[in-house]
Amino acid sequence: MKKVHIIGLGLLGGSFALALKKAFPGIRITGTDHNQQHQEEAVQIGLIEEIKDVAAPDTDLILIATPVHTIPDLLRSVLGKIDKNTLVMDFGSTKAQICQSIADHPNRENYLAAHPIAGTEFSGPKAAIDHLFSGKILILCELEKTNLELKGKAYEIFEALGVKLRFMGPMEHDNQLAYVSHLSHISSFMLGKTVLDKMEDDKNILNMAGSGFSSTVRLAKSSPAMWTPIIKENKSNILEALNQYINNLMEFRDEIVQDDYKKLFKKMEEINRIGNLLNLEK
């Protein structure tokens, strides 16, 4: 791995650059970002060596790490200009529309759809950390459509990152992520809104906030510029998950109204098992 080009120099793109620099000494990374300040910061802190709008012809890997609604057009453009030995990968949080957008592209075999289940509530190049992907799950979609030799190049990178690979179809990916990722962010945003609304009457309420509130609302600090497109792209799956979530909240509320605390206790006791299930996945 000698040359890499990154489009999108935020948390994911920047962390990817740092991880590659750590794993492959001497690697040359160029990059671009629509945000001029991000480009300058990426050079200043050493994420990339040079700002370039277009990757060099002999680039080993081009990573697209931009908001999901921008990826299809970028992907088609990049695939139309690459060398046959260049692997193109994206880190989009939705996959069905992206994969569909290049399904018939003549250079489809140069593309690998990837989604690392990694991140923080922070954004921008300065949020990048070299161990962000270590030990995290990386989902790959339609791996069978990627060129065999380029898959070997991808596996070299994944081994260096220390990720755990999972494989699924794009539609399955989008449905499952609506429940375990997208719904979590929506819940956090709405908890934050509820408390902000309460603050209009009680300015001191945040003085009562402990670690439980902080950890639950942490995701409400995530970038709206990233999450609005995700919600739009995955609308149907998110509405399915959101409707189930709202129904569960309404049932919980009704049991409180009815003073049915035995039922509440039993319900929460049953839900406790999610902790054991999460431990099994680690």
Q: What secondary structure does DSSP assign to 216-258, as a single string?
A: HHGGGGS-HHHHHHHHHHTHHHHHHHHHHHHHHHHHHHHHHHT
- Whole-model pTM? 0.88
Per-residue pLDDT at 271 = 93
CB 7 within 8 A of CB 32: yes
What is the four-CA torsion angle of 205, 206, 210, 216, rounded to 10 degrees?
110
Per-residue pLDDT at 277 = 73
Per-residue pLDDT at 282 = 53
Ranges of each domain in the chain: 3-168, 172-281
In eight-state DSSP terms, residue 126 is G
Per-residue pLDDT at 279 = 67
List Cβ neighbours of 80 (8 Å cut-off, separation of 6 or more): 105, 107
Q: Please return the burial class of 120, using the count of CB atoms within 10 Å of its CB with bins 0-12, 13-18 and 19+.
A: middle
CB crowding 143-177: b at 16 or more within 10 Å, else e: eeebbeebbebbeebbeebebeeeebebeebbbeb
Per-residue pLDDT at 86 = 97
> Quick one: CA dihedral 94, 95, 96, 101, positive or negative?
positive
The span from the CA of 22 to the CA of 16, in Å, is 10
The span from the CA of 20 to the CA of 29, in Å, is 9
Per-residue pLDDT at 171 = 97
Per-residue pLDDT at 74 = 97
Per-residue pLDDT of the chain (282 residues; tens, 9 = 90+): 799 999 999 999 999 999 999 999 999 999 999 999 999 999 999 999 999 998 988 999 999 999 999 999 999 999 999 999 999 999 999 999 999 999 999 999 999 999 999 987 778 899 999 999 999 999 999 999 999 999 999 999 999 999 999 999 999 999 999 999 999 999 999 999 998 988 887 777 777 677 788 888 888 988 898 999 999 999 999 999 999 999 999 999 999 999 999 999 999 999 998 877 776 555
Per-residue pLDDT at 121 = 77
The span from the CA of 252 to the CA of 268, in Å, is 10
Per-residue pLDDT at 69 = 95
Q: Structure tokens of 85?
A: 């030995």
Per-residue pLDDT at 281 = 57
Per-residue pLDDT at 128 = 93
Phi then psi for residue 180, to 5 deg, are -100, -5
The span from the CA of 12 to the CA of 194, in Å, is 30
Nearest 5°: CA angle at 92, between 189 and 243? 40
The span from the CA of 185 to the CA of 190, in Å, is 9
pLDDT one-digit tens code per residue, 107-130: 999 999 999 999 877 788 999 999
Assign residue 177 a region (left: φ > 0; alpha: ψ between -120 and 50; beta: otherwise).
alpha
What CATH number should be reported for the domain whose range is 3-168?
Answer: 3.40.50.720
What CATH number should be reported for the domain whose range is 172-281?
Answer: 1.10.3660.10
